[in-house]
Amino acid sequence: MGQQIFKGNIIFTPSPEELKICAKSHIVVEDGTVEGIYERLPEKYGHAPVKDYGERLILPGFVDLHVHAAQFYQCGLGLDRELIDWLSDCTFPAESRFSDPVYAREAYSLFADELIRQGTARACIFATIHKESTGLLFEILQEKGIGAFVGKVNMDRNCPGFLREETEVSIEETEELIIQYGGHPLVKPILTPRFAPSCSGKLLAAIGELAEKYNLPVQSHLAENRREVEWVRELFPSRPTYSDVYFDSGLFGQTPTLMAHGIYLTDRELGLIKDNGVVLVHCPESNINLASGIMPVRKWLGRGIRAGLGSDVGAGHTLAMSKAVVRAIQLSKLMKFFDPWAKPLTIAEAFYMATKGGGSFFGKVGSFEKGYSFDAIVVEDDPRIAGRLSLEEQFQRFLYTGDDRNIIARFVRGRQVG
C-alpha cells in the first residue's frame, strides 16, 4: 500500500479527557498505519502527493462493539415490547429467515453497506445460528474491506424449535467456521453464546473450551433487563450471579470478552468484570427502546471498568454510532435524576468510547497516534454554517446534527471503503 498523506482538520481523542484538534494538518500513513501528524510537512515528504480535504474534518472511523447483522431489517419494529417478548415475538422469527442463504446474502450485503455508509470502520457482530449464512457474512465483510469480529450465534434451549440447535451440532459448526475463516487479517471469528438463558450449561462449557483451544475472544449479553436477571437466577440456581455463569464456563475474561449492556450488576460482578478485564458495551438506544434501564456508565468507569459503545441494532434503531455517542451523553444526564452526584459524560468521553476505547478490542484502533491503524472518516458541513464555527463546534455539530450525508470518505487500515 505504501505511503499516503492526507490533509485536513484532524480531530481525535487520545484519552477520554482530551479532544485533540490539529487544524490544517497532514497525517502521514505508511502501509495503513499512522506515522505522524504534522502541521508543516517534514522535508523528507516534500514531493509526496497529498490528498487535501481542505476545510473538512478528519475523524477516526467509529467502532461498534455490539450489533446483530441479522436484525438490520428489524430496526424500529416491535419496540413496544421489553426484551423477552421482543425476542420471542419479533427477533427469533426474523432470525429464522437466515436459514435461507439467498435471503441472507442480500440482507447481509445491505447491512454491510449501511454500516460502512454510517462511518463504522470496525464492528463486533452477531450473526444467527446458521452456519452457511454466517459464512456468507464473513465473506461479504471481507469483500467490502471493513474490520470485524463475526460470531455464529449458539443457542440450544429456551427458544422456538425452528431456532434451537442440538448442542453437539452447535459446537461442531462453530468450530468448522473458526477453521474456515480464522485466517483473515481484518474479519475474524468470535465466540458468541447468545446469552445464558438460551444456552445449556453443557453448551456454555464447550464454547469456553473452544475459546481456550483457539485463543479466541467472546461476546454475549449480560444483565440487560430485570426479568432476564431473575430468569438466569432460576436457570442456574447454584451460581451466585449472572456473571459467575459465564466465568465458570471460561467465558468471562479468560480470553478477551465483550458483554453487552451490564446494567444490573452486583458488587461481586463488578469485581469479576474489572479483575478479568471484561469490556462492557453500553447500548443506549437499545436500552431506551426496550425500556431495559440506564447503564450507570460513569459509575462503572469510576470503578476502573473498560466500556465501549454499541448500536445493538435491531433493538437499537440505527447503525450511526454518532447517535450512540449523543444518546450515551443524554442518558448520563438523565442519570442525575436518580443519582444527584452522577456527572454526565463529556463529548470527549463518549467519543472516546466510540473510537479508541472500543477500538482497543481490535488492537491499535480508534486514534491517530503513531502506530494506530488509519481508520478514518472525512466529514463535510455546509460552509455557510461551518464557516462561522470553531473546529470543536463543527465536531459537536456533526455528532448531534450530522448524518451519513456529511461523510464524504471512509478508510479502514488506509484503504478507502464504500
For ligand GUN, give the closer residue by CB, 87 or 141.
Answer: 87
Under DSSP, is residue 44 helix (H, G, I), strand (E, B) or coil?
helix
The packing angle between helices 131-144 and 167-181, to 10°, is 20
DSSP code for 336:
G
For ligand GUN, give the closer residue by CB, 269 or 312.
Answer: 312
Site residues (CB under 6 A) for ligand GUN, limited to 183-222: 194-195, 221
Tell me the one-letter amino acid at 224: E
Site residues (CB under 5 A) for Fe ion, limited to 254-313: 260, 312
Query: Residue 114 has which C-alpha cell?
Result: 449501511
For ligand GUN, give the closer residue by CB, 174 or 406.
Answer: 174
By a kind-dependent CB cut-off of 5 to 8 A, residue 224 interacts, out of Fe ion, ligand GUN, none, with ligand GUN
For Fe ion, give the closer residue by CB, 151 or 418.
Answer: 151
Q: Are strands 153-154 and 120-126 parallel, antiparallel or unpaired?
A: unpaired
For ligand GUN, give the closer residue by CB, 91 or 170.
Answer: 91
- Out of 134, 286, 332, 373, name the contact with ligand GUN by CB under 6 A: 286
Tell me the one-letter amino acid at 226: R
Query: Torsion angle of alpha carbons 319, 215, 101, 202, nearest 10°?
Result: -100
**What is the per-residue binding string for ligand GUN in 40-69, x denoting contact by CB under 6 A?**
----------------------------x-
Shortest-Cβ-distance residue relative to Fe ion: 312
Rounded Cα–Cα distance for residues 345 and 336 (Å): 11
- Out of 37, 315, 324, 417, name the contact with ligand GUN by CB under 6 A: 315
For ligand GUN, give the closer residue by CB, 10 or 155.
Answer: 155
Q: Which stretch binds ligand GUN (CB under 6 A): 83-91, 327-335, 350-358, 377-385?
A: 83-91
How many other β-carbons are positioned within 10 Å of the β-carbon of residue 303?
A: 12
Q: Could you identify the residue written with the cell 422456538?
A: 160
74 is a site residue for ligand GUN (CB under 6 A): no
289 is a site residue for ligand GUN (CB under 6 A): no
By a kind-dependent CB cut-off of 5 to 8 A, residue 269 interacts, out of Fe ion, ligand GUN, none, with none
Residues 6+ positions from 163 with CB-CB distance below 8 Å: 92, 95, 96, 128, 129, 155
91 is a site residue for ligand GUN (CB under 6 A): yes
CA angle 132, 278, 355 (to 5 degrees): 80
CA dist 95 → 92, 137, 153 (Å): 5, 14, 10
The partner residues of 220 in beta bridges, in order of sequence, read 259
For ligand GUN, give the closer residue by CB, 28 or 148.
Answer: 148
Residues 6+ positions from 324 with CB-CB distance below 8 Å: 64, 283, 284, 285, 309, 310, 311, 316, 354
Least CB distance to ligand GUN at residue 91 (A): 5
Which residues sit at the interface with ligand GUN, rule CB under 6 A?
Answer: 68, 83, 87, 91, 194-195, 221, 224, 286, 312, 315
Contact set with Fe ion (CB under 5 A): 260, 312
